[in-house]
Homo-oligomer: A and B are copies of this chain.
Amino acid sequence: MAIDSVLEIIGVFFAALSGGLAAVRKSFDVFGVVVLAWAAGLGGGILRDVLIGDTPPVGISDPRLVGTALLAGVVIFFLHPGLARMRPAVVALDAGALAFFVLQGTTKGLEHGAGLLASVVVGVLTGIGGGVLRDMLVGEIPLVFADRQLYAIPAVVGAGLTATLWHFDALTVLTQAGVVVVVLGFRLLSLWRGWVAPQASQGWTGRWGRFGSGRM
């Protein structure tokens, strides 16, 4: 099995753990835990494949990936108290999965002919889409929009870098490894230093409310 397949399976496993945990916290039953593991581990890639027209998505058709996500769900279902003690390791492995998924998602978009901009978008979605889907399925506002952590911003940097390297015909194994190092390093550094993204100022919004009823 090629190195990138191994990395993909590891990434799916750690992303899927987060979905299973969110489901356990909400007292979902065993089916709900397994579905949330699948959604968190493979939802970003499913969104990517639907958006670039590569159907059926690997997230429903590749037995290794689907099996990995379901396994993560079963592991969480039985072993979650023990896993809680490994949190620092899991957060670091998740940062690695983010870096790998963004590189791989952007590259797949480019190879599929989706164009530079669309490939950057689907690359970011591959990285963050599973977490957004997970949070929506458990009835929470997606963390990635609101917790101010630098999670999506490293993803955007990584996807943009990948597309730029591709555009200049410079996407090699070496530069791909460089993209992973940049995203992973940026993410871990932001965690270590406590960097946060800015929020808009508040205090005025009571006067405004949502407006229109459909698009606005």
Contacts and interface: CB of A to CB of B under 8 A. Distances in A.
B137 A138 contact: no
A26 B117 contact: no
Contacts of A135: 210
A215 B36 contact: no
Contacts of A121: 60-61, 66
**Chain A interface main SS type:** helix
A9 interface: no
Interface stretch (A76-84, A161-169, A170-178): A76-84
A25 interface: yes
A81 B196 contact: no
A92 to B, nearest CB: 10
Number of copies: 3
A66 B120 CA distance: 12
A197 B122 contact: no
Nearest to A77: B200
Interface string A3-38: 000000000001101100111111111111101100
Given A36-B145, A55-B51, A215 B128 contact: yes
A56 B212 contact: no
A17 B213 CA distance: 14
Nearest to A20: B200
